[in-house]
Amino acid sequence: MRRFNGRRFFACTPSKPVDDCKTGTETIRAMPHSANSNEPLVKIRGLRFFRGDRPIFDGVDIDIPRGSITAIMGPSGTGKTTLLKLIGGQLRPQAGTIHVDGQDVHRLALRDLYKLRMRMGMLFQSGALLTDINVYENVAYPLREHTRLPQSMIRKLVLMKLEAVGLRGARDLMPAELSGGMARRVALARAIALDPMMIMYDEPFTGQDPISMGVLAQLIRRLNSASSLTSMVVSHDVHETAEIADITYVIANGEVVASGPSKEVLNSDCPWVRQFMRGEADGPVPLHFPTKRSLEEDILGEAHRKTGTCR
Amino acid sequence: MPLMESLAQLGRIGLGIFERLGRGHLLLAHILAGLGPLAVRPRLLIIQIHSVGVLSLLIITVSGLFVGMVLALQGHYTLSQFGAEDSLGIMVAAALVRELGPVVTALLFAGRAGSALTAEIGLMKATEQLSGLEMMAVDPVKRVLTPRFLAGLISMPLLAAIFSMVGVLGGHFVGIGLLGVDEGAYWSQMQAKIDLHEDIYNGVIKSLVFGFVCTWIALFQGYDATPTSEGVSRATTRTVVHSALAVLGLDFVLTALMFGD
Ligand SMILES: Nc1ncnc2c1ncn2[C@@H]1O[C@H](COP(=O)(O)OP(=O)(O)OP(=O)(O)O)[C@@H](O)[C@H]1O
Ligand SMILES: [Mg+2]
């Protein structure tokens, strides 16, 4: 087991992150937000998930403590979105368990899964707004589906949520008339419409200008402290995210390579993390999608291999 | 081992077909399970009847008119050789109500409404709208597919009836207006010979079956599409091709069962 900064509560190892994770999260559990129960809200154990033969996750353990903001970082294509879909029960892992609020997501009956999802908000990377209804109706949608509130009440709630993301003035626009960043913020307003117990944000900051980025970060922070909400933020925006997140997990190559309080992870000497945080092309995290042949072989074909062996 | 290779290939294709069939039936069961909850939200259904049925009216009436007119021309040519021009009415009406109404309407429906359904559902999948609904704890099949299915089922017989009606008028226009057939004979023969059970009901049953199959195919292709632009475009093509083949094949079977004694 490699240890890079000697601190006990900080884990940085690609091979066996579990033990250190525990010590890492122990400190977090004592945080002021942590609610009624000491159990983490989301508990992932031994998660294995394959796309075809390619492992996306190979034995991942993650704890999301209640009331915290947890950041999940990692290079593009490591499976961050996949992780959120696994937690939401939209994908089924080949092995391992995911417990949300004490319930095993993949063993629930469909009805119970839907009940659980009502308490989980998810902000999709693409926004995933319904394109045939306008912004107002999109935000009102979950309220109309799951509550029997009168119209006037729904109106108040929708306008409040839209105000929170700074888009009250855009309520009559259709999704096609929004920019990518605006669509994401409308989707956020929709995700918080039902006041869920946890929200999963998939890349909330991409496509936002510095102002709305700051507003969003504040909003996520505020939502979290106002109610006993638990948040998971998947993001590439290292510093923006580390600013608001209590805990950070860094995923690469299907494993948790680093985890612990955000500040520690951010300032760590761990090469995996340092490469990712500083955006270096060279390092333990490969930029390239896995392949069996070298670039020379791919480009020059068999000829290269033959001359290569001759020499 | 080219033989083994091609045998294995054949097996894979066969398995693929059966797997799709299985998924199609599971989806159908899921869609049907949504009919109950739909009863409390009639608005969803009305919106879909508008987009699936009402918006298909133009193409259905125009096609019905021309098919009726051509039928009268062709029929008149044949009938006049036997001096039986007076039977033009019954000939036009029977052909439309028994055969052309349900079949041509279904083919047009697949092209107009079915392809639109597939593209819509496929794009909703590609843009994660269906996933989004799932995560909002809304069942996308019951919420999105079921109303469209029922709308197709309701619209098809009505469209086929309108097609036949307009066709009879088109035949009347050509037969009486251009070819000089006796108007009284045109209507009275039709009234006397077209049977409510034998012709009309059977025609309605046909178009109900076609409505069921065409909408089912369209929804399944959209829901099962590869969530990319290419996948959606291929699914749309498959909807039209599969619907056309299914309608023509089923038409033969149904006709043999109903009229062949
Ligand atoms: N439907 C799919 N079929 C097959 N493979 C998929 C599918 N969706 C994703 N993958 C693969 O799974 C891996 C993880 O994808 P995922 O979308 O979770 O990445 P990500 O970490 O969210 O990346 P990004 O930061 O770019 O959003 C990718 O390498 C991708 O190739
Ligand atoms: Mg992603």
Mean pLDDT of B99-125: 95
- Confidence (pLDDT) at A309: 39
Task: For residue B71, give every residue at least 6 positions away whose Cβ sits within 8 Å of its Cβ, in sequence order, or none.
Answer: B91, B92, B95, B96, B100, B167, B170, B171
Interface confidence, given as ipTM, is 0.77
pLDDT at A12: 52
Structural tokens at position A120: 């989980």
Rounded-to-integer distance, Cα B63 and Cα B130, Å: 35
Four-CA torsion B181, B185, B187, B192, nearest 10 degrees: -150
Residues 6 or more apart whose Cβ sits within 8 Å of residue A102: A37, A39
Task: Mark yes or no for CB contact B139/A141 under 8 Å.
Answer: no
Is the pLDDT confidence value at B8 over 60?
yes
Q: Residue A78: nearest ligand to its CA?
A: 1
Q: Which residue has the higher pLDDT, B96 or A258?
A: B96
Q: Which residues of chain A have pLDDT under 50?
A: 1-11, 13-35, 306-311
pLDDT for res A54: 87
Contacts of B8 (CB under 8 A, 6+ apart): none
Higher-pLDDT residue of A306 and B145 is B145
Residue nearest to atom 28 of ligand 1 (CA): A77
Looking at the CA of B131, which ligand is closest?
Answer: 1
Residues of B in contact with A121 (CB under 8 A): 135
Give the pLDDT mean for B73-93.
90
Please, what is the Cα angle at A211 between A210 and A212, to 5 degrees?
A: 100
A51, A235, A285, best to mutate for ligand 1 pocket (most atoms within 8 Å of CB): A51
Whether ligand 1 lies within 6 angstroms of the CB of A78 is answered as yes
Name the 3-class secondary structure at A307: helix
Quick one: pLDDT at residue A242?
Answer: 80
**Could you give the CA distance from residue A116 to residue A111 in angstroms, rounded to a whole number?**
9
pLDDT given at position A18 = 34
Question: Can you give the pLDDT at residue A182?
Answer: 85
Kindly tell me if the per-residue pLDDT of B31 is higher than 90. yes
Report which residue type is found at A40.
P
User: Average pLDDT in the B5-9 region?
Assistant: 92
pLDDT recorded at residue A305: 52
Do the beta carbons of residue A211 and residue A199 sit within 8 Å? Answer: no
Q: pLDDT confidence of B100, banded at 50, 70, 90?
A: very high
Query: What is the pLDDT of chain B when averaged over all its residues?
Result: 92
Number of other CB atoms surrounding residue B203 within 10 Å: 24
- DSSP secondary-structure letter at A49? E
Distance between B124 CA and the closest CA of chain A, angstroms: 8
Cβ <8 Å between A131 and B132 = no
Q: What is the predicted pLDDT for the residue at B109?
A: 95
If you search the block for the tokens 């608005």, which residue do you land on?
Answer: B43
CA B160 to chain A, closest CA, distance in angstroms equals 29
Q: Quick one: pLDDT at residue A282?
A: 66
Pick B15 or A4 by higher pLDDT: B15
d(CA A11, CA B148): 52
Supply the pLDDT for residue B48.
94
